[in-house]
Structure 1
Amino acid sequence: MIDYDGRSFRNTGYPAGEDAPVGHYRQDGDLLWADFDGGPVRRGSLNGRVEPDGNLEFAYTMVLADGEVVAGRCWSTPEFLDDGRIRLNERWERYGAHSDSGESALEEVRT
């Protein structure tokens, strides 16, 4: 199982140097949670679990800069980059008035 505790991940949909959402992950056994903000996200959080193969399944909520409240679900598949960092390939769905679905990616940020 991959240990995500203490790792941070940045949304790859933003150019380098631009403010982008960054999540700070915590883990206890298979329990996963994170807080994130940046870019258009004022505050976000997720709660879910880590599967034995390192895949993630979680629910998320966030408040955007324009005041919109968003909730959804996500499934992430880890990929190890050549430099040892992790890339999370995400498949997500959003619920409510602005329901949507799609794919995105996050890459580990080393501090």
Structure 2
Amino acid sequence: MARSLDGLVLAPVADQAPGQVGTRTRFTYHEQDGAVWAEYEGGDVVRGRLVGTREGDRLDFRYVQLRTDGSTSSGHCRSTVVELPDGRVRLEETWEWESQPGSGTSVVEQLDAHGL
């Protein structure tokens, strides 16, 4: 199993559509006894939360967020935890909105010590 996500800060490697997470969004992850959760903000997201479970290298969670335009949205995501050659963590994600139409894939990676 890949290492714990607890305390890691991750960011998307590419921007999504307007009103969604993007390269300026930062996720702070927590993990304990098979539970995972995170807070996130930045870009078009004022505040977001996710909560779910981890089994091995698989995450399954729901997310909710408040956007800069005052709207809210929620969805479901399944991710695979990958350890990169440099020791950082990558999450390869497949997500779908539950509060609106839309689905897709994305990648978030652990920031290095310089925030890059």
TM-score (norm 1): 0.88
Greater CA drift, 36-45 or 79-88:
79-88
Equivalent pairs, count: 106
SS at match of 2:5: coil
What's 2:24 paired with?
20
Match runs of 1:10-89 below 5 Å: 10-14=11-15, 20-51=24-55, 53-89=56-92
Report the equivalent of 1:106: 108
**Gap runs ≥5 in structure 2:** 16-21
Q: What secondary structure sits across from 1:66 in the alignment?
A: coil
Letter in 2 for 1:48: G
State the distance in 2 between where 1:37 and 1:44 align: 6
Q: Please list every run of at least 4 consecutive aligned residues from structure 1 whose deviation after the TM superposition is greater than 2 angstroms.
A: none
Root mean square deviation of aligned Cα: 1.5
* TM-score normalised by the chain length of structure 2: 0.85
- Per-residue CA deviations over 1:68-93 (Å, capped at 9, x if unaligned) read 20100000012221211111100000
The offset of 1:110, in angstroms, is 3.0
